[in-house]
Structure 1
Amino acid sequence: MTDSALDLMTDFINATTDESDAMGFARDAADELGLTAPDELTASFLTTISSSYCRDKSAVVVSPSACVSGLAILAGMGPNGHVTCIDTEAIHQRVARQAFTAANIRSNQYRFLPSRPLEVMTRLAARSYSLIYAEIAPADASTLVDEALELLEPGGLIILADILLDGTIANPARKDRDTAAARRLDESLREREDIYLSRLPLGAGMVLISRNEDAPTS
């Protein structure tokens, strides 16, 4: 598929995806705060994934724009699903809470941890989460993956959003810190035998990771 064809298809899907009023509020709030949020295509993907992996289970959302990503995930989780949202900024969490309330999501279906992700994830219960979604700097992504794998229950899934940087990792002339870190992450993930890996052209490039339960342990 050519780049123009992919762009045309993406634009069509985004334009014809219906979203709730609560999601509209969340997108407007994210824009006002200058946050990069998942587009309509990606948000609908997250809802579909959560309906399969997280029905009445638990998820972790590491994202400044949890108002959008968290809402998309909660939409597919069912009445007994629960999301832990991790972000350092109180205003981001306040907006997410408002979006969840607008969507009639009960307050016992989510919690907010105002902490640095790599510091607080080590304190979460191991093998207790069916989905971990993260928007994180490439330099921190490798450590986050290791922490997230410890938190996944069997059959769980890690989603790294926008981590392929719109494909700039394929450009050898790009040597800036973020691109170099994303390139190292991509190479290291492809070399691992203890995970299953899929890379998708969603957003700026999404990576899906699940644990290979049959991999030999060291």
Structure 2
Amino acid sequence: MALPKVRGARDESRVIHHELGHWLMAREVGFDTGGVIVQRAPDGAIHGSAKVFPRASVMLDTTGAIDDYLTRRVMVLCTGVIVEIEWYSKNLGRLLDEDELADVYENGVIDVSGLSDKGKIEELLVILSGLRNKPVSELPDFAAQISDLFTEIYNQAKVKAEKFLDKLYVMAEITSKEKWQSREMLEVPLERLLEIESLSETRLKMMSPAI
């Protein structure tokens, strides 16, 4: 089943959720972040990007250090997909089927460079597979290695993302009400995102039942 096409404010909401997923996971795994940008293209499509500075905290001079670094980068990218799936599920009032899940991964949010998470993920997984696996000569065997790696890291990211999804929903609600700098662009700088994160945490605490 094909996912329904969303436009206007709903599409902006989808992109905001997606980019906040990247932003929150980046901070969760130890990367510095900047702001988030949402843009309207002339054809009405909505694009977005979350500024992430994936600097290594240690020298990447061992296989283990490189593996850890690449894994965290892939987790950040996967979380955009994870959150977008959650957004569709929440808006449709049901779980997505396999074709719809594939649709989100294949045709998710495009950033301002024109790249999707899928393309970036697959480039990094090729390197990671070379670190973890012995070379194989047959393409189906290599594809299986990549698929297994993706599933493993995606599931790791999903476990971490579930811990901040409630906060993300509140952050997205606040962010969607921010003033656009122009008709084409909404840019939320780091300082404002940190304020929004703090407001969201406070709101969630107020909503939590007293023990």
Pick the TM interval, shorter chain: under 0.3
Q: Which has the larger radius of gyration?
A: 2
Query: What TM-score do you get using the length of structure 2 for normalisation?
Result: 0.24
**Normalized per residue, which structure has more strand?**
1
Higher relative contact order (CA 8 A, sep 6+): 2
Query: What TM-score do you get using the length of structure 1 for normalisation?
Result: 0.24
